[in-house]
């Protein structure tokens, strides 16, 4: 482990206990009229500030670039590796229905039982009381076990999970790139494996009128990665050769590759919104447009409306991400 990583890890363990209390998140958004309350809340400011801070942090950077990897980041990757291993240990069952394999419920039941223990491996001992609260966001981030579906609300719950870890000081300002490139990218890999293994339905999909059946944030952060790229322009992401040659460097292109693997037919027909985006002249405009679209169209994670009400001693919004 590098000296800087050791220092980061030690500072986590040696930090004095914060004067704060934690609570199990509860559902606050029950009807359309509650969305106004959500958008006026400190939680919304915290969440969107977190998304935009990371958006700026990965601007012009490749997935394969060098960045700091702290001990909490490594522990988060280990957590996701555990979820991945459980998929291998829980194969799909034979059933009449092609979609929504019921083995996902068995897999989810294990996460439901172990989530607090998993979170406890990531946070330092003086923050142990935070585990039950933070674990709720982790459980919400992998899909719905009743409907066996997954969508952007579940993705947002994982972003809220990471935001919580920032608010209580587990993740720090120099973790920005690692949060997106190492942790969130690994999360995407595990979610794609879940979607394929258990043939999960897209939750709240808008079909050809939506950006993607399952994800949104990797398109935002992925377009930021490509801002001012000397060769790749938005029009290039519909070129199969360009995607195959560059997807390991750019999250946006990795998303395009997954879509083409999962869907058949002309790209312009099954992913019309993305096809239209390919006509935008610059990645900067793509990025700005996607952020506006995200604010307007993506549903909130089920419990995220309580995010800013707890851990107030952590300070102002995104203190630990600068």
Q: Give 10-residue mean pLDDT values along the chain (322 residues).
A: 39 46 76 80 90 97 96 98 98 93 98 98 94 95 96 94 95 96 98 97 70 93 98 96 97 97 90 94 97 77 38 35 46
**Residues with Cβ within 8 Å of residue 114, at least 6 apart in sequence:** none
Interatomic CA distance for residues 219 and 55, integer angstroms: 10
Which pLDDT score, from 0 to 100, does residue 39 have?
A: 84
pLDDT for residue 205: 63
CA-wise closest residue to 118 among 67, 84, 75, 149: 75
Please tell me the predicted confidence (pLDDT) of residue 186. 98
Measured CA to CA, the distance from residue 317 to residue 50 in angstroms comes to 8
Token look-up 């709720």 returns 136
pTM, whole model, 2 decimals? Answer: 0.86
Return the pLDDT at 222: 98
One DSSP character per residue, 33-77 reads THHHHHHTSHHHHHHHHHHHHHHHHTTT--TTS-----HHHHHHH
pLDDT of residue 207: 58
- Let me know: does 322 contact 53? Beta carbons within 8 Å: yes
| Element housing 193 (H / E) | helix 185-197
Residue 29 has a pLDDT of 73
pLDDT at 2: 42
* E strand intervals along 109-163: 149-150
Question: In the prediction, which pLDDT does 24 show?
Answer: 81
Burial level of 44, CB count in 10 A (0-12/13-18/19+)? buried
Confidence (pLDDT) at 302 = 41
Predicted pLDDT of residue 7: 37
What burial class does residue 117 get, using C-beta atoms within 10 Å of its C-beta: 0-12 exposed, 13-18 middle, 19+ buried? exposed
The reported pLDDT for the residue numbered 208 is 54
């Amino acid at each position: 482990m590098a000296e800087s990583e050791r220092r980061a890890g030690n500072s986590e363990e040696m930090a004095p206990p914060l004067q704060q209390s934690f609570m199990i998140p509860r559902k606050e958004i029950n009807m359309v009229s509650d969305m106004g309350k959500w958008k006026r809340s400190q939680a919304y400011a915290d969440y969107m500030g977190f998304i935009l801070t990371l958006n700026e942090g990965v601007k012009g950077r490749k997935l394969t670039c060098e960045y700091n990897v702290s001990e909490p980041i490594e522990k988060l990757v280990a957590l996701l590796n555990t979820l991945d291993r459980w998929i291998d240990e829980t194969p799909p069952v034979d059933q009449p229905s092609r979609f929504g394999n019921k083995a996902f419920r068995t897999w989810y039941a294990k996460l439901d039982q172990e989530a607090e223990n998993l979170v406890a491996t990531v946070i330092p001992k003086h923050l142990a009381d935070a585990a039950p609260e933070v674990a709720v966001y982790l459980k919400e981030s992998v899909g719905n076990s009743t409907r066996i579906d997954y969508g952007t609300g579940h993705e947002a719950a994982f972003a809220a999970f990471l935001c919580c870890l920032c608010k209580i000081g587990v993740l720090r300002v120099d973790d920005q790139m690692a949060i997106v490139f190492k942790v969130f990218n690994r999360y995407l890999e595990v979610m794609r494996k879940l979607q394929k293994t258990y043939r999960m339905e897209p939750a709240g999909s808008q079909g050809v009128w939506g950006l993607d059946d399952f994800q949104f944030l990797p398109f935002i952060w992925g377009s930021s990665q490509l801002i001012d790229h000397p060769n790749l322009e938005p029009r290039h992401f519909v070129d199969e050769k360009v995607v195959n040659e560059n997807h390991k460097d750019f999250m946006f292109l990795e998303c395009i590759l997954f879509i083409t693997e999962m869907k058949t037919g002309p790209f312009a027909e099954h992913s019309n919104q993305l096809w239209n985006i390919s006509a935008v002249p610059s990645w900067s405009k793509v990025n700005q447009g996607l952020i506006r679209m995200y604010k307007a169209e993506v549903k909130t994670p089920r419990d995220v409306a309580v995010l800013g009400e707890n851990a107030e001693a952590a300070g102002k919004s995104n203190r630990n991400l600068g």
